[in-house]
Structure 1
Amino acid sequence: MRRLSFLLAFSLVGCVPAVSPSVPVLGGVSAPSTLTKANAAVQPRENGALPDKWWESFHNPALDRLVEQALAHNPGLDEARNRLLEAQAQVFKSKSLLYPHVNSGGALIHTRISRNGPTEPYSGVTANLATLFPLMVNYDLDLWGRDDALIQASEASEEITRAKYRESALMLSSAVIKTYFALHSAKELVEGQTRIVQLNEERMKLLDTSFQTGIGPKPPVLTSQTQWHEARNELEKLQRQLSSLNYALYELIGKSPEDTLTPTASSLPDQFPLPARVDLNLVSQRPDVQAALWNIKRSEHLEKVARTAFYPNINLVGLMGFNSIGISDLVTPAGGTYAYGPAFDLPIFEGGALEGQLHAMEAARNSAIDAYNHALLVAVREIADGLSTMKHRRERLEEISAAVTARTAETALDQEKFGAGISGKLPYLDALIRLESEQMKKTEESLDWLNSITDTATALGGGFGGWAS
C-alpha cells in the first residue's frame, strides 16, 4: 500500500507542468502633486476621497432629482443590475459543490438475457429488469481545493459584475449631469440668440429707413439683411439642439418625452474640492480598476482549477434501494440492495488537453494583470487630463468674464451717448449685439468649466467605488 501511494505521488509530480511566472503588477501609481496643490481650480482636500453624490455641491435640487431618477429607472442600468443578480445566482449554484449531492432514481428495462451470461437460472430468458434507488449519494472530497477554487472564481466573477454595474451607474450619472448642464446652456444660448435676432432686425429696419429716406446708402442694408438671416439660422440651429438635449435627458432618466424640461442655473464654483493626492488608494476607487483587479483574482482561481485537473478526483458514493428481475418482487426484503465506497479517476493520457488548458489559464492570468496595469495607467492619465483641463477652463472663464465686464461698460457708455443725443441709435444697437455675443461666449465657457469638473469627478470614480448595489 505504501509503495502504491509513493508511485501515485511520484506520477503526480511528474505529470503536472511547472508553474509559469506571472507578469509584474504595478505597485503604485500617482499624478504630479502640482495638478492639485498648485491648481487654482482645485481646493485640495488632505483626507478622504471624492464624496458620494458629489454633484450636490452645485446646489441644484432639480439636477439631484434627475440623477436619482436615472439611477432608479434607466433601462440600461436595470440590465446591468440583472446581470449582477445572474452572477449572484451563479455563486449560489457554485457553493453546492461543498455539499453531498443526494438523488433518487430507477429504471424498468425489458431485455433478453444472454445464454452465456452468469445469470443462472435466467440465462436465455426474456424478462423485465427493475431497479429503484430512493437514495443515491455522491460527495466530492475536494482534496486539492478544486471546488473551493471554482467557488472563489465565481465570487470574483460576481465582484467583476458588481464593479461593471457601478461603472454603468458612474457613466450614467456623468451623462445626466453633463446633459443637464448642456440643456441649461442651450436654453440661455437660445434666449441670447433670440435677442441678437431682434437687435439685428431692428438694426436692419433702421438702415432700410435711412436708405428709403435718402439719408443712407444701399450696401449697409444688404449687409444687415445677410446678418439677420445668419442670426436666424443660428437661432434655428440652437433651438434644434435644445430640443435634442431635452429628449436625450428624458432617455437617460428612463422616461419618454412628456414635455420640455426647464433646467435651473447651477452654482458656478470658483474652485472644486478634490483629494490633494492622486495615488493608488484613490485610483483604486474607480469601478473599472476594481473590475480589473477582481479579474486577476478570478484568473488565479481558474488557473488553480486547471492545475488540479492533473490530480486524481476522489468521491464517496453510496446507494440504497431495490433491484429485481421482474416487477412483482422488486420492493421486497429479498430485492433490497446497497453499495458504498470511494471512487476515483486519474487522467493518464489526454493528448495534451489538460496541459493546453493550464497554459491557456496562465496566459489569461497574465492578460488580466496587463489589463489591470493598463487600467491604472489610463486612470491616472484621465485624472491628470481632467485636472489640467479644469485649470485651463477656469482661466478661460476668468478671461471671458473680464471681457463681458469690459463690454458691459462699453455698452453702457454707448447708451449714455445715445440718450444724450451725441450719437445715433445704430452704434448703440451694434454695442448691444456685441455684448450679447460676449455673454453667449461666457455661457459656453461656463458649460466647459462645469463639464471639466464633471469629467474629473468621473475620472476619480464619481463616488461609486462603494456604491450600494
Structure 2
Amino acid sequence: MRPRLKPLAALVLLGLQGCSMAPGYTTPALELPAHYREQTSTGPWHSAQPNDQLAAQWWTLYHDATLDHLQQQLLQANPDLAAALAHFDAAQAYASQLHAGLFPQINASAQPLRQRQSDSRPLRGTTQPSVYNSNTAGFSLSYDLDLWGRIRNQVATGDAQAQASGDDLAVARLSLQRQLAILYVQLNGLDAQARILNSSLEDFSQALQLTRSRYEGQIASELDLTRAQNQLFEARAQLDDVRGQRNLIEHALAELIGVAASDFTLAPTAQLIALPAIPSQLPSQLLQRRPDIAAAERRVFAANANIGVAKAAWYPDFSLTGLIGGQTQGVGNLLSAGNRYWALGPLVNLPILDGGRLSANERQAKAEFEEASAQYRSQVLKAVREVEDNLAQLRDLQQQAQDEQAAADAAQHTQSLAMNSYQAGAVSYLDVVTAQTEALQAQRTLQAVQTRQLQASVGLITALGGGWQPGA
C-alpha cells in the first residue's frame, strides 16, 4: 500500500467501526386511550388529594401495621423472589461477558516441556538428541474490529435482556406483593365475618334461652324450640367454616413470607381495613411504568438488535492477531533476541457457502422481532383491561355496598320488630328465625362486598404498576 493511502485506509476502518446493520429502532406504536371508559370525573370512590402520593411501599396506603410487616418479610425471605433476583444477577453477568468482546483479548502462556522424539521421525537429523527440553512462554493478542456492528449489537441485546430481567424481577415482586395484600384483605374480611357470627351467636343463644323458657312454661311449641336450636347450630357451623378458610389463608401467607405453615400464626384483626382514597381521574400514560410493559419493550429492542447481528454475519469479519514470546531447548534466556518469536497480521473470515444458514438466521431474527412487538402490544392491551376491570369493580361495588347497607339496616330493624312481636305473642317463632337469618345474611353479604372493594383497590394499584403518581 502506498504511504499516502495508509491514513485513508485507517480512517475508513474507523468509520466502519461505527456501522450497525440493525434497523432503526422505534417503540412499537400503540395509541393509549385518552381516558378509561369505566372512569368518571365524579366517581363513587373517595377522590385523592393533589398531595397524595404513593411511595414504593404502596401497601402503606392501607395504614395497617401487620400488612406492612408481612410485606417486609416477603421482600426478605420469599424464595420465588430470591430466585428472580438470582436470574437477574445471571442476566447482568451475561451482559458483562458480551461487553468483553468490545476490547482486545490478551492471553499469556508458558509451556516447559521435557520430551522425547521418535527414532523414526521423518527428516530427523542424525545429530538431534532423542530427549530434550523445550521451554516456551509468550503472549497472544486478538481484537475483532467489528466493522459491521455485530459485537456492538450483541452487547446491546445483552444489555436490553438484562434490563428486561430487572423488570421481570419487579414484576415478580409486585405480583407477590399483590398476592399477599389480597390474601391479607381476605383474612381481614374473614375476621370481620367471625365477629358478625359471634355477635349473632350471642343473640341466637339468648333467643334459644327465651324459647326454652317459653316452651317449659308451655307458651311456645317444641317446633319453636327446635327452630331456635337449628338456627344456633347453623350459625356455629358457619363460624367453623370461616375459621377453616382463615387457616388456609394463614398457610398461604406463611408460604409467601418464607415461613413454614406449621410455625406461623396471625392474631385476628380487630377492625376492617379502610378503603384508601383513589383519584377520580387516572391518565392512561401511567401504564408505561408497569414493569411487565417495560420488560416487553426491552425485549423488542433486543430482538431489533439481533437483526443487526444476523445481517452482520453476511459480511467479512476482520480481526487483528498478534503473538510474541520466546522459546529455548532448556538452556538460554527466553528474552534474548535469538530466542524470541513474534507474529502480527490481520485475519479475514468471509462466508462463502453455508447451505442457507445465514439466510435462515436473518429470517428467524426478523420473525422474533415481530413476535416481541406483538407481545408488547398484547401486554399493553392486557394492562388497559386490568385497569378498566378494577375501576369498574370499584364503581359497581361501591353502589352495591350502599344498597347492601340499606338492606342490612332494614333487616336489623325487621329482626327487632319480629322479636318484640314474638315476645308479645303476635307472631310465630318462624317469623323471628326468618328475620334473624336474613339479618345475619345481610350483614355477611355487606362485609363480603367491602372485602371485594378492598381487593379491587389492590388490583387497581398494582395494575397501574404500584400507584398513580407518574414518578412513583
Shorter-chain TM range is 0.7 to 0.9
Check conservation: 2:77, 2:258, Cα contact below 8 A.
Answer: yes
What are the ranges of 5 or more consecutive residues in structure 1 without an aligned counterpart? 3-17
Aligned residues: 449
| 3-state SS in 2 of match to 1:98 | coil
Q: Determine if the alignment matches structure 1 residue 156 to structure 2 residue 140.
A: no
Match for residue 181 of structure 1 among 177, 181, 185: 185
Give a deviation string over 1:215-257, Cα, whole Å, max 9, x none.
4444444444443443332221111111221222222222333
1:268 partner amino acid:
A
Instruction: Name the CA distance, whole Å, in 2 between partners of 1:213 and 1:459.
Output: 63
Give a deviation string over 1:408-435, Cα, whole Å, max 9, x none.
444455677689x686995667655543
1:234 partner amino acid:
Q
Match for residue 238 of structure 1 among 238, 242, 245: 242
Deviation of 1:90 after TM superposition, in Å, equals 1.5
Per the alignment, residue 448 of structure 1 pairs with 452
Match for residue 375 of structure 1 among 379, 384, 405: 379
Per the alignment, residue 435 of structure 1 pairs with 439
2:255 partner amino acid:
E
Deviation of 1:185 after TM superposition, in Å, equals 1.0
Instruction: Name the CA distance, whole Å, in 2 between partners of 1:20 and 1:297.
Output: 10
Evaluate the alpha carbon distance shift between residue 430 and residue 122 of structure 1 in structure 2; reply closer, same or farther with a 3 A threshold: farther
Q: Determine if the alignment matches structure 1 residue 37 to structure 2 residue 40.
A: yes
Instruction: Name the CA distance, whole Å, in 1 between partners of 2:116 and 2:356.
Output: 42
Q: Determine if the alignment matches structure 1 residue 55 to structure 2 residue 59.
A: yes
Per the alignment, residue 291 of structure 1 pairs with 295
What are the ranges of 5 or more consecutive residues in structure 2 without an aligned counterpart? 3-20
Per the alignment, residue 385 of structure 1 pairs with 389
Check conservation: 1:181, 1:450, Cα contact below 8 A.
Answer: yes
1:384 partner amino acid:
E
Deviation of 1:339 after TM superposition, in Å, equals 1.0
For 1:19-168, list aligned pairs within 5 A. 25-30=28-33, 32-38=35-41, 39-41=43-45, 43=47, 52-107=56-111, 108=113, 110-112=116-118, 121=125, 130=134, 132-168=136-172
Decide which moves more: 184-193 or 254-263. 254-263
Instruction: Name the CA distance, whole Å, in 2 between partners of 1:379 and 1:139.
Output: 46
Instruction: Name the CA distance, whole Å, in 2 between partners of 1:164 and 1:234.
Output: 42
Instruction: Name the CA distance, whole Å, in 1 between partners of 2:22 and 2:98.
Output: 26
| 3-state SS in 1 of match to 2:289 | coil
Give a deviation string over 1:103-122, Cα, whole Å, max 9, x none.
122444654498665xx757
Give a deviation string over 1:315-351, Cα, whole Å, max 9, x none.
1111111235x43458363322111111121111111
For 1:184-223, list aligned pairs within 5 A. 184-204=188-208, 206-211=210-215, 213-223=217-227
TM-score, structure 2 length as denominator? Answer: 0.82
Instruction: Name the CA distance, whole Å, in 1 between partners of 2:105 and 2:377.
Output: 42
Match for residue 170 of structure 1 among 150, 164, 174: 174
Check conservation: 1:113, 1:127, Cα contact below 8 A.
Answer: no
| 3-state SS in 1 of match to 2:148 | coil
Give a deviation string over 1:274-306, Cα, whole Å, max 9, x none.
65322xx32211111111100001111112111
Q: Determine if the alignment matches structure 1 residue 265 to structure 2 residue 271.
A: yes
Match for residue 396 of structure 1 among 381, 395, 400: 400
2:347 partner amino acid:
A
Evaluate the alpha carbon distance shift between residue 94 and residue 47 of structure 1 in structure 2; reply closer, same or farther with a 3 A threshold: farther
Evaluate the alpha carbon distance shift between residue 465 and residue 328 of structure 1 in structure 2; reply closer, same or farther with a 3 A threshold: farther
Deviation of 1:182 after TM superposition, in Å, equals 0.9
Decide which moves more: 404-413 or 332-341. 404-413
Deviation of 1:448 after TM superposition, in Å, equals 0.7
Per the alignment, residue 9 of structure 1 pairs with none
Evaluate the alpha carbon distance shift between residue 122 and residue 382 of structure 1 in structure 2; reply closer, same or farther with a 3 A threshold: farther
Check conservation: 1:287, 1:465, Cα contact below 8 A.
Answer: no
Decide which moves more: 122-131 or 178-187. 122-131
Give a deviation string over 1:36-56, Cα, whole Å, max 9, x none.
234323637899996643332
Quote the sequence identity (%): 23
Structure 1 residue ranges, 4+ long, deviating more than 6 angstroms after superposition: 18-24, 44-50, 122-125, 415-419, 422-425, 427-430, 464-468
Evaluate the alpha carbon distance shift between residue 429 and residue 225 of structure 1 in structure 2; reply closer, same or farther with a 3 A threshold: closer
Deviation of 1:64 after TM superposition, in Å, equals 2.4
Check conservation: 2:189, 2:272, Cα contact below 8 A.
Answer: no
Check conservation: 2:322, 2:342, Cα contact below 8 A.
Answer: yes
Decide which moves more: 199-208 or 165-174. 199-208
| 3-state SS in 1 of match to 2:465 | coil
